[in-house]
Amino acid sequence: MGDELTVVASGSSLDAVARAALQKILLESITYKREYGGMICLDGSVYRAMKARTSYEACRVDVGVHDENHGCPPGTQPVAYYHTHTAESIGVFKGSTTSSRPRTKPWPRTTASAPPTSGPWTAPS
């Protein structure tokens, strides 16, 4: 597997896997003011978070939805993605007391039971 398909967290709880993956990248996201994120894939009954990616921007990241199998290894099913927001993108420097907080979004973003196999899909921001 290529480096982009490295599993950084796995387990039986989607939320726990997402939080574990986010804990690995949150400090870097805040420090470098970049958004990071990745796909979470279902492998049998185990959720696996793929290594986080960055677009080197504060408010945008392509988590892998445009890749083959939407960024998940062959034989697994994409079920969610996770990503951070930099402090600037959520208003910390505008008087807010919140810090950069993790975001997890279910896959797919529609009511379909599987990710789209063709056609345009806007990468999450």
Q: Got the DSSP string for 5-66?
A: G-EEEEES-HHHHHHHHHHHHHHHHHHHT--EEEEEEEETTEEEEEPPEE-SSSS----STT
The answer to whether residue 73 is domain-embedded is yes
User: What's the structural domain count of the chain?
Assistant: 1
What pLDDT, on a 0 to 100 scale, did the predictor assign at position 117?
43
The answer to whether residue 118 is domain-embedded is no
The answer to whether residue 46 is domain-embedded is yes
pLDDT tens, the chain, 125 aa long = 345 567 888 888 999 999 999 999 988 998 888 999 999 999 999 999 999 999 888 888 999 988 999 999 999 999 999 999 876 555 444 444 444 444 455 555 433 334 444 433 334 44
What pLDDT, on a 0 to 100 scale, did the predictor assign at position 89?
53
The answer to whether residue 47 is domain-embedded is yes
What pLDDT, on a 0 to 100 scale, did the predictor assign at position 9?
84
Domain span at residue 93 reads 3-106
pTM of the model: 0.68
The answer to whether residue 82 is domain-embedded is yes
What pLDDT, on a 0 to 100 scale, did the predictor assign at position 88?
59
The answer to whether residue 112 is domain-embedded is no
